[in-house]
Chains A and B, each alone.
Chain A
């Protein structure tokens, strides 16, 4: 099955700096890569996603890049703000059993220091 590794596990940046979180996946058949943000005690919320036919996608201060050859994808947050502080999860969509499933990374605790 799919295996997703996420780094770093914790990341502290100064407000206004950029943050980068990286993930690698194992299943070359995976074709969908979402990123979720989870604030303390809340549900994970989808913030951006990318499909395997696209190399990069941007949404305001957030961007995701995908390198299918190397099987890795990254989340980039520019001009970070304190409200960006949260746990971020990457995921990759592979086939398991009868359905496409998401395999999640272990999460990155991002802290933006004011």
Chain B
């Protein structure tokens, strides 16, 4: 069966510091991968998605970036964190194809910026 791993679970970082969050998927190949951010008590904001290695689409302009160095690895990065980057970051995967597919979420990373 497919599983998705996301780490770390919690992270406290000072303003201006760099960020790297990692997500890996097991049990499937060539998944679509997604990064979402969720502010407290709010909905899911799509940040990036990827349909293959090295293919990244950005939904919202910001100081974050994403990379997909391997088929089942998705990384969210920042060179300099802002206070507004605080939130709950969720990685998700889905199958590809022309029809819509369910997305399956990791356990998330709760990021606090001080």
Contacts and interface: CB of A to CB of B under 8 A. Distances in A.
A93 B94 CA distance: 12
Contact of B99 (A51, A101, A102, A107): A51
Contact of A99 (B43, B96, B107, B110): B96
Given A100-B98, A104-B44, A46 B104 contact: yes
A102 to B, nearest CB: 6
Given A44-B90, A44-B105, A99 B44 contact: no
Contacts, number: 60
A101 B107 CA distance: 20
A26 interface: no
Contacts of B55: 98
Nearest to B104: A46
Interface string B70-114: 000000000000000000001000001111111111111010000
B53 interface: no
Interface residues of B, number: 24
A49 B99 CA distance: 13
Nearest to A105: B43
Interface string B44-62: 1010010100010100000
Interface residues of A, number: 25
Contacts of B99: 31-32, 51, 93, 100
A106 interface: yes
Contact of B51 (A45, A46, A98, A104): A98
B105 A49 contact: no
A89 interface: yes
Contacts of B110: 41
B32 A99 contact: yes
A26 B100 CA distance: 16
6 contacts: A43-B108, A45-B105, A51-B99, A98-B55, A102-B100, A107-B43
